[in-house]
Amino acid sequence: KHYVRSGNASWKRAAQAFTHLDAFFGETTKVITITKARVSDYQDARLEAGAARNSIRYEIGVLSAAFGVAVDQDVLATKPVFKQPAEGEKRTGFIEATDFAVLVASLPREVADLIRYLRMTGWRRGEGSGLVWAQVDWDDEHFPGEHDEPVPGPNACIRISESDTKGGDARTFPFANASELRDLLLARSRVRNGLHVFHRNGKPIGDFRKVWSKACKVAGLEGRLVHDLRRSAARDFRRAGVSEGEIMKLCGWKTRDMFDRYNIIDQADLTRAVARRFGDANGNASGENGKQTANKQASAA
């Protein structure tokens, strides 16, 4: 009830956590029996069942939040503090451009378009699959009269409200100067059928794990997650010179801590950084330093 009242977009994920909590503690268990020791037992049981550490941390966080709501509503007097298990390893999966092309080619058209959108924007899966045409602002007031399809103006953008995002932050993603994204949205407008931008015969795209898994196998990307597209998009933005603050605004990271957890700097990035600082293996300056040196040499000549 609290999640619904607050308009929290992540209830589906929280409900999954409660499924595991209910299975262990029992739906009719008394609050007084949910002690720190029992919560530790829960963590052990989940680890033994093969659950990821970060998933367990999330579930304990949901349990703690439930106690917090009970205290806020005067159902309980105090809120216990449960010790969290150690963090699991940060995921470092990226999907490179060549692999991504094979992946997309192996997916059904409607799913492929959604996957392309997620890779371009860095948005979460639910934010992409739930996107409706009312959230796409074509900024086409300067093109009056009838035309076969939208004519994006200079301020064309996608807008989603606070209630549509996991972090509860309204977001704007301009696409007037993003030709690939603009063309994708125009292509989707040509097959428009109902409210949703991405759909299957007019209905929102639901679970596509089977086709995703099959396409990943074809592309040699077994074990990769749809969420890895978010990490890959953030790295693409950073490599293009976009500031980290701007990436957080565009893709929807509310805190720097959450952004850092995505570990978007890889070995190749570090190698390029060192090359820019110290020059290449032959001692020649590279990157911007190289350009400046070349310019100075040309001027001197």
Condensed to tens digits (0 to 9), the pLDDT of residues 85-133 reads 777 555 567 898 999 999 999 999 999 999 999 999 999 998 999 999 9
SS3 103: helix
Residue 13 confidence (pLDDT): 80
Q: At what angle do helices 11-25 and 36-48 cross, to 10 degrees?
A: 100
Q: Could you tell me which residue, 40 or 141, shows the higher pLDDT? A: 40
What mean pLDDT do residues 70-99 have? 83
Q: Which of 137-151, 211-225, 243-257 has the highest mean pLDDT?
A: 211-225
SS3 category, 196: strand
Give the model's pLDDT for residue 286: 46
Residue 52 and residue 225 in contact, taking contact as beta carbons nearer than 8 Å = no
- Written as six digits, the tokens of 189 are 């407008």
- Indicate the SS3 state at residue 173: strand
Residues present in the chain in total? 301
Rounded to the nearest 5°, which phi and psi values hold at 240?
-80, 0
Mean pLDDT value of segment 155-164: 85
| Mean pLDDT within 80-84 | 88
What pLDDT was estimated at residue 196?
Answer: 96
Q: What is the mean pLDDT of residues 237-256?
A: 84
Give the pLDDT confidence score for residue 279 in this predicted structure: 72
CB contact burial 203-236 (16+ within 10 A = b; e otherwise): eebeebeeebeebbeebebeebebebbbbbbbbb
Once rounded to an integer, what is the mean pLDDT over residues 253-258? Answer: 72
Both tokens of residue 64?
């703690």
